[in-house]
Structure 1
């Protein structure tokens, strides 16, 4: 059982390490890296490389952003098998609905709990009003 946690920790950590290196060494914004990782998860799932990684690392491969792409890709494949071509549009969102709902719910709770701060309006230099 300890080895399962170890594999998840190492694989998840390596995925996050790649993201951190991209933030530190490139001019990519975090939003672009997010899109890159989700897209990478979809592409690696499509070519059959991400499934074995999930089988090996479990949550270490499904929790990071690449896992979100994996979940969406698997949902699309399943929906296409069940519904035909319409599954392309519905499968990814249906498969990821629980994760999306949890993100919205906990984001809302965080907004309720946190104390908002007013930012001072920036001073206008040399402008006439």
Structure 2
């Protein structure tokens, strides 16, 4: 079994890693998509159920769901007139959960995290 290092030793390989990571971070860069992913962590839901939990319009919700689906983060299935969405990419969700949990800790108890270890940018 080979051991993977970060950053990769080969410049071309490192470039590809950075490009893919930037694409994922870009996809996750809106609060609405993070809310959708959070709402779907425990079980699949219809668009209507998501709209009951997340304050937005139906067209806006559908646009974000479509982007997450096309990226492979979510999967969907049709049952009659309803479309059910669920998490498909658990690793992407774990990344979101880790970042959001760390930020929540920093907001709740700033003294719990050393300044050099913080994810929340310092305001100069």
- TM more than 0.5: no
Higher strand share: 2
Q: Which has the larger radius of gyration?
A: 1
TM-score by length of structure 2 reads 0.32
TM-score (norm 1): 0.31
